[in-house]
Amino acid sequence: MSASVTAAAMHQADVGFHPGELAVQRRAGVHTEAERLSPMLEPAELRGGIVAFLADRTLAVLTATDADGQLWTSPLSGAPGFLEVVSPTTLVIHARLPEGDPLHGLAAGQQAGLVVVELAARRRVRVNGTLTVAGGGLLVVEVEQVYGNCPQYIHQRLLAGTADDQPGPGGVRYGARLSAADAELIRAADTFFLGTVNPERGADTSHKGGAPGFVRVEGDQLWWRDYPGNNLFNSFGNLAVDPSAALLFLNFDTGETLQLSGTAEVEWTVAGRPGGEGHTGRRAVFTLQKLVAGHLLPSRQVADNPYPRNPVLTD
């Protein structure tokens, strides 16, 4: 039996919310609301509008592990059509992870999580499954979950490709400490992507957005308040089981990328008392282990429009 069939069978037998997600939902007091959306997490097929959406996209973000088992989140881009649905359960990504990216040369046979985003239209779709092929300019995902997310906190952007649509390794910096420039990029960000993993359910990538400054930097730790969302708690549920986390920050004007890998935990205020913007009483705290800084995003922003209902920063 192949690795992909084994994974698919496991996920078919274990659908719905996993224990980490359930624990966070219950602590947040939203288990009943989340349960109504649980069918979204059942094994799904790539059909209809999802196929058309994927075919027109030029940006996706991938979460997977490197040869050392370190979790990373990386940008993938290409002309429309670089995301190709070849069967109801198979997504082919016609893209290479460039040299210098921490996932360059990643191995097949592992779980991978994708979020595919149309920033201009504030639309996003999550695609999770098993990476069955990785190499030769192709990544192939046998899909186990696919579902859309709401448009909340997405900063509208119109992106255009550059002449160099496959950036090279020049200028990539590896380290374990944030530089002053890294901290400045993070503090200016209104968008980042969060990768998490569950040992039994696989990897997941989510989009996070807010007003510039919503991610705070304190030494080599970052933290951000959790804003109201769909109540599924896919990311926080994963962190309740496995603290591995990966963050991707992008400068859409320059193509700068900052990829961080480490651990994260969810902190709650006393007795669930709301605190700070968002008023959820939750925040995530990320501790850095490794970083890769470079210019690995080939597309550039040509127009933008902030999300109009970001919570106002309180400190």
Mean pLDDT by 10 residues, the chain (315 residues): 35 68 91 79 83 96 97 96 97 95 97 97 96 96 92 96 56 96 98 96 96 97 94 94 98 97 91 71 96 94 96 90
Neighbours of 34 (CB within 10 A): 22
Q: List alpha helices for the chain, DSSP H.
A: 3-13, 19-28, 31-35, 49-56, 180-188, 234-241
Identify the pLDDT of residue 163. Answer: 52
Q: List alpha helices for 194-297, DSSP H.
A: 234-241
Identify the pLDDT of residue 41. Answer: 64
User: Using CA atoms, how far apart are residues 58 and 175, in angstroms rounded to an integer?
Assistant: 29
Identify the pLDDT of residue 15. Answer: 62
Alpha carbon separation from 34 to 16, 25, 125, 235 (Å, rounded): 11, 7, 18, 14
Looking at residue 123, its amino acid is R
212, 173 contact by CB (below 8 A): no
Alpha carbon separation from 216 to 115, 187, 249 (Å, rounded): 24, 6, 13
Domain ranges of the chain: 3-305
DSSP conformational letter for 38: G
81, 55 contact by CB (below 8 A): yes
Correct CATH for 3-305 of 3.40.718.10, 3.40.50.300, 2.30.110.10, 3.30.1950.10: 2.30.110.10
DSSP conformational letter for 154: P
Identify the pLDDT of residue 273. Answer: 56
User: Using CA atoms, how far apart are residues 196 and 63, in angstroms rounded to an integer?
Assistant: 8
Identify the pLDDT of residue 11. Answer: 40
Grouping H, G, I as helix, E, B as strand and the rest as coil, residue 272 is helix
Nearest to 192 by CA among 257, 114, 283: 257
